[in-house]
Structure 1
Amino acid sequence: MAGMTIPTRKLSAAGPVVGALGLGAMGMSDMYGPADESQSIATLHAALDAGMNLIDTADFYGSGHNELLISRALRERRRDEVVLSVKFGSRKHPDGSFQPAPYDVSAVAVRDRLAQSLRRLNTDYIDIYRPSRLNPDVPIEETVGALREMQEAGYIRHIGLSEVGEESIRRAAAVATISDVQIEYSLLSRGPEQALLPTLRELGIGLTAYGVLSRGLLSGHWTVDRALGSKDFRAALPRFNGANLAANLKLVEELGRVARELAATTSQVAIAWVAAQGDDIVPLVGARRVDRLEESLGALDVRLTPEHLTRIEAAIPAGAAAGGRYMDQQLHLLDSER
């Protein structure tokens, strides 16, 4: 992988040029149980060496740990080598659990949380800054207006959004130029195709897709008897439980058959499918180890013909997933699900 340079894509007409795959760093600090810091840093270095310059994080991943980890990894790197995408708004208790909504996305919070992220990341600016979720009691115009002020002051380069619906995107775009919207998009989560993607394309806004492997379900490495630790939030997700899990893994088996014909792994085909949905989409992969990163990068060598895409669609049709992508009480809080 040394010296590898992957293809690039542009996040909107005014957005940054990034690698065709981005790295989601959440699992290096949070949500999926313990991670090895030395492996995490090695993975971040390997991603940058491959030309995978988009690194996605949030100030609440590990309650600041993720930003500090990334700062350590970038210590010997040029700042212009990386496109840092940072989310804010979610809040945590000292024990690491999330505080219930509403999310803190007021104009005051924008400035306060940005100041803290700049300090932890040891940088003068953040490339893309975005609210992780919306607060229905805070007009999106207030949040995006404050982000625009920080952009004009030079503290952020681009403004992004996350898990928002069509109306909110239009309202935000009327206030400032939006580079991209981050949302879960995979063979098991096809919701963005209905209204979100058409709206983004109408407005010239890019999409960064997280959960492209449905948090591991589509990796080909998951088994029905896999034990999840107490700090792995997937244990509470409907798709990972009981009959839902068994049904979803049956779908993955069908995808695996297509992958074998392509001489690729199941995860590579799942990632390649997302990338094939448009040049305005950048899949984020959540690798925590170099070997998993290398497997994900192999997706860029998978060439999906129209016949392959038809076969994949037959293996996992839209709406085939058993169980929601979040628990019901979380789903109803998402602007993108309204």
Structure 2
Amino acid sequence: MTLPARPLGRIGRNVNPIGFGAWAIGGTWGEVSEADAKAALHAALDSGTDFLDTADVYGDGRSERIIAQVLAERGGDRPFVATKAGRRLNPHTASGYNLANLEGFIDRSRQNLQMDTLDLVQLHCPPTESYDDAALFDALETLKAKGKIAHYGVSVEKIAEAERAIQWPGVQSVQIIWNMFRQRPAESFFRKARAAQVAVIARVPLASGLLTGKMSAQSQFAADDHRSFNRNGEAFDKGETFSGVPYDVALAAVEELRPLVPGGTTMAAFALRWCLMDPAVTVVIPGAKNAAQANGNASAGDLAALDATTMAAAKSVYDRLIAPHVHHLW
């Protein structure tokens, strides 16, 4: 990985810009064996990845526990580990985001990750009204004062939520969907995040696998894979699945993007390098189900910057085919 490290907002740490998103090794992406999950993590860490992103609901803690096991096996310097809290609430309401509930979730994550102090806890896409709740951010400050978390941030669905979140002085990071099929964050939010020195964590960078270029109209997904059961937002926000783009539209867009991929690399690596062209993006967090996928993601760190012609062509595909379906929604 030859791309230089980027500052993680105001946290005082630099991280390699290609991280590891640990949703897939937890659940709702089809079957991933524990051996494959561990091999994917080892491969990412061997490549130089030093930022891991997980959540307490990924496999009901499975993802967090696998990370703890792999880090214990490796020893040495520990990567930066970000997790999330809040989606264990049922019902998932703004009133549930209170000190008592968050402390319970965080204590569970501390146990799963075998960490006394969590590096970064992100509110896990809370209801929009939560971003105006001073008591919620006071609760996070209390948990910092107790030494249970070192830093806190937010994971958001909507740009308006991200812009509200960074008004709170303690928010160190915003995790947001950013990829060639979700380009609106660059319009204004990224500039505001840079001005506030807030880290931007780019999630769903491959649009749930669409931007690997490996899917087709015949692709099949397991019943427990969200790409099968959440295409229209049946279980959670539809923007989490294929970035909210209708599947047939996305496949057509992929074919238009395919000629832009430089020779000798993959569409996945190209798509990740595209995400990192904006200097506001701190780290991109692609998932991987096995070591080969993790190594493929890491290879994006060796790609040269994309030229202006390529960037303009990718923007044209977005403007013509994708934006009418997604740009106004998030």
**What amino acid is aligned across from residue 92 of structure 2 in structure 1?**
A
Confirm or deny that 1:126 pairs with 2:118.
yes
Which sits farther off after the overlay, 4-13 or 192-201?
A: 4-13
Per the alignment, residue 72 of structure 1 pairs with 69
Structure 1 contact 141–171 (Cα < 8 Å) conserved: no
Root-mean-square deviation over aligned CA pairs: 2.7
Taking the aligned partners of 2:218 and 2:323, their CA distance within structure 1 comes to: 19
Taking the aligned partners of 1:52 and 1:318, their CA distance within structure 2 comes to: 35
Which sits farther off after the overlay, 225-234 or 314-323?
A: 314-323
Change (3 A) 1:41 1:318: farther
Per the alignment, residue 106 of structure 2 pairs with 114
Per the alignment, residue 16 of structure 2 pairs with 19
Per the alignment, residue 237 of structure 2 pairs with none
What SS does the aligned partner of 2:205 have?
Answer: coil
How do residues 3-152 of structure 1 correspond to structure 2 at under 5 angstroms? 7-78=4-75, 80-91=77-88, 99-102=90-93, 104-136=96-128, 138=130, 139-152=132-145
TM-score (norm 2): 0.86
Which sits farther off after the overlay, 192-201 or 117-126?
A: 192-201
What SS does the aligned partner of 1:14 have?
Answer: coil
Confirm or deny that 1:284 pairs with 2:285.
yes
* Match 1:222 to one of 215, 218, 233: 215
Which sits farther off after the overlay, 145-154 or 246-255?
A: 145-154
Per the alignment, residue 301 of structure 1 pairs with 302
Q: Which runs of 5+ in 2 are unaligned?
A: 233-240
Confirm or deny that 1:160 pairs with 2:135.
no
Taking the aligned partners of 1:125 and 1:78, their CA distance within structure 2 comes to: 17
**What amino acid is aligned across from residue 307 of structure 1 in structure 2?**
T
Taking the aligned partners of 2:280 and 2:320, their CA distance within structure 1 comes to: 21
Tell me how far 1:205 sits from its aligned partner: 0.9
Structure 1 contact 248–322 (Cα < 8 Å) conserved: no
What SS does the aligned partner of 1:38 have?
Answer: helix
Which sits farther off after the overlay, 173-182 or 116-125?
A: 173-182
What SS does the aligned partner of 2:54 have?
Answer: strand
Per the alignment, residue 252 of structure 2 pairs with 250
Per the alignment, residue 179 of structure 1 pairs with 172
Taking the aligned partners of 2:161 and 2:251, their CA distance within structure 1 comes to: 35
Per the alignment, residue 334 of structure 1 pairs with none
* Match 1:192 to one of 169, 175, 185: 185
Taking the aligned partners of 2:179 and 2:133, their CA distance within structure 1 comes to: 27
What SS does the aligned partner of 1:156 have?
Answer: coil
* 1:90-117 CA distance string (max 9 Å, x none): 127xxxxxx5532632121221111111
Number of corresponding residues: 317
Structure 2 contact 202–281 (Cα < 8 Å) conserved: no
**What amino acid is aligned across from residue 136 of structure 2 in structure 1?**
T
Taking the aligned partners of 1:223 and 1:80, their CA distance within structure 2 comes to: 41
Taking the aligned partners of 1:282 and 1:67, their CA distance within structure 2 comes to: 19
Q: Which runs of 5+ in 1 are unaligned?
A: 93-98, 326-330, 332-336
Tell me how far 1:308 sits from its aligned partner: 2.1
Taking the aligned partners of 1:257 and 1:322, their CA distance within structure 2 comes to: 23
Structure 2 contact 84–122 (Cα < 8 Å) conserved: yes
Determine which structure has greater relative contact order: mean sequence separation of CA pairs < 8 Å that are 6+ residues apart, divided by chain length. Answer: 2
TM-score (norm 1): 0.84
Taking the aligned partners of 2:116 and 2:142, their CA distance within structure 1 comes to: 15
Taking the aligned partners of 1:323 and 1:225, their CA distance within structure 2 comes to: 22
Confirm or deny that 1:237 pairs with 2:228.
no
Structure 1 contact 210–283 (Cα < 8 Å) conserved: yes
What SS does the aligned partner of 1:317 have?
Answer: helix
**What amino acid is aligned across from residue 259 of structure 2 in structure 1?**
R
Change (3 A) 1:224 1:308: same
Tell me how far 1:297 sits from its aligned partner: 1.3
**What amino acid is aligned across from residue 305 of structure 1 in structure 2?**
D
Tell me how far 1:244 sits from its aligned partner: 3.1
Between the two proteins, what is the percent identity of the paired residues? 25
Flag as ranges the 4+ runs of structure 1 deviating above 6 A: none
Structure 2 contact 9–198 (Cα < 8 Å) conserved: yes
Tell me how far 1:47 sits from its aligned partner: 1.4
